[in-house]
Chain A
Amino acid sequence: MSAHPPHKPNVLELFLAALGSPFVIVGEQFREIFKVFGLTVQYAQHGRRRWKEVWLQAYRIGNESLVFIVCVAGSLGVTLVYQAGLQAERIIGDLTPLGGLYLQILLREFGPTITALMISTRVGTGIAAEIGSMVVTEQVDALQMSGAHPVEYLVVPRFWASVVMVFCLTCVSVLVSWLAGLLTALLAFGVSPYTFATLSFVIPGDVILLLMKTTAYGIAIPIVAGASGLSAHGGSEGVGWATTQSVVNCSLAVLFLDVLLSGFGYLVLLR
């Protein structure tokens, strides 16, 4: 076998490689995520039901995020109503529709999306760190040796727990933001709670859109985070890489689904 002289890439090849490599990386991650998605759907239908594990994960995803979500939703509610109130006072001069419109935009957009981004941050990193640590300490290999598929054993319980808990946390978050907004409107602008607390702007489409968004986010977060965790390799560096990857991918998935579903809502639901 004669040794070939090493091939030196020219400028054009380097340029094309630099142009193409992001697409290759993104494509690989998409493939990984959809692989985990397919396996999760398959095992969620046909696999064993391990309700105890689902219950435990629901506690860890839901209850342990509660304080975090309440903090974030509270400060978000105060800020949004304060900004909107100042603008409404300056431009319209009438603060009566503030409460109704605020509740509507909360249901349509800020409630589900900000909550899902927060859950991506807290739970997405948590799932990836946990599964990633199990991968690098070869616990996942041990699972496979004993005949359990890692997706069935690790991702499916988190999937069920997350679908339920994202919805519950979104409800809590909407409620807290709304109450914080009500208090802000009362204390900063003197809007009576009776005027603020109105459902007159909310239409059924808003609630349907909220349900669609929470379900989509609840499905997406554990799967994207699980895919990142399962693709960890190397020692503690690999775990760090997986958690970073997880929170970025989860947040982008949430924003992407938000664009899709908001567009759908705009074109179909909220006419």
Chain B
Amino acid sequence: MRLTSVLSVPFAMVGRRTLDIATEMGGMTLMAGAILRRLFPPRVDGAELMRNLYNVGVKSFPIILVTGVFVGAIMVIQAGLYVEKYEATGFIGWGAGFATLREVSPIMIALMFNGRVGAKNTAEIGTMKVTEQVDALRTLAIDPVSYLIMPRFIAMVVMMTLLVVVGDATALIGGAFTSQFLLGVDVQLFFRSFVDLIHLEDFLLGVYKAITFGIAVGVVSCHFGITVTGGAVGVGRAVNDSVVASAIWIFVLNYVVTTLII
């Protein structure tokens, strides 16, 4: 009897986790479906959309700028080691720019966006849920998805795309300054190799990634926000789950988009 109960522990654990994951995946799918149904024709509250565009985009601007500069500096330092080893200073703009535009900048900006906007979104919707404001909306015959979720979702997709473009630009400027002051490679040389060797596709790949990341963060954070239960503790736990799920989606989608587009 004892042996069987010990043996059943791992199975119970695997089963419980599978059920948990299935529940969340189903919830996210339903959320994506609800959003999709209200996109054609678009049913969005205009004033709420403008306010969310401001909150999501403009207020994240400083953090994205700082992240961009850091990313550019890191990539140039890393590329600099190889450039000096093989004495190919002419290629630093290409080396750092290629990795930044295609891979590092979209991921880093998306992770910061996930932390800044996704977490805040889950916390806000979750707070409204536990203080019964969402129920109040329903009582007033206002569809919570059209009023609360659609503006946030659209704002996130639009602003994520734009913020990656901003992040790319700041990363390149930060990288150029780092290469000037730390490596002693002239800014002109940096940008010449960048312009010569980087194609539009490299930039566009980052933008496509940004669109998918924006959709993922939007769906995941709204889903975890609207399903919160259990007061302040529940809100904290939901934010935690939301950022973790979004981060996994970001990396999985990064892989999917990379393999699909190339």
Contacts and interface: CB of A to CB of B under 8 A. Distances in A.
A197 interface: no
Interface of B is mostly: helix
Interface in B63-91: 63, 66-67, 70-71, 73-74, 77-78, 80-82
Interface of A is mostly: helix
A236 B130 contact: yes
A202 interface: no
Contacts, number: 165
A266 B74 contact: no
B255 A239 contact: no
Nearest to B233: A133
Contact of B62 (A22, A137, A236): A22
A30 interface: no
A240 B123 contact: yes
A82 to B, nearest CB: 6
Contacts of A82: 258-259, 262
B97 to A, nearest CB: 12
Contacts of A79: 103, 251, 254-255, 258
A118 B131 CA distance: 31
Contacts of A22: 62
Taking each of B66, B111, B234, which has the highest tally of chain A beta carbons within 10 Å of its own beta carbon?
A: B111
A240 B120 contact: yes
A92 to B, nearest CB: 11
Contacts of B80: 266
Interface in B187-233: 231-233
B127 interface: yes
Contacts of B176: none
A238 B231 CA distance: 12
B115 A251 contact: yes
A243 B123 contact: yes
What 10 A-B pairs come out closest when comparing CB atoms? Answer: A240-B123, A129-B236, A247-B115, A236-B232, A255-B70, A236-B235, A244-B119, A243-B239, A125-B240, A75-B255
Interface of B: 62-63, 66-67, 70-71, 73-74, 77-78, 80-82, 98, 102-103, 108, 111-112, 114-116, 119-120, 122-124, 126-127, 130-131, 182, 231-237, 239-240, 243-244, 247-248, 251-252, 254-255, 258-259, 262
8 contacts: A72-B247, A125-B243, A129-B236, A242-B236, A243-B119, A247-B243, A252-B66, A266-B77
Given A79-B103, A121-B247, A235-B131, 12 more contacts: A71-B251, A72-B251, A75-B251, A82-B262, A87-B98, A129-B237, A130-B236, A236-B234, A242-B236, A247-B114, A252-B66, A262-B74
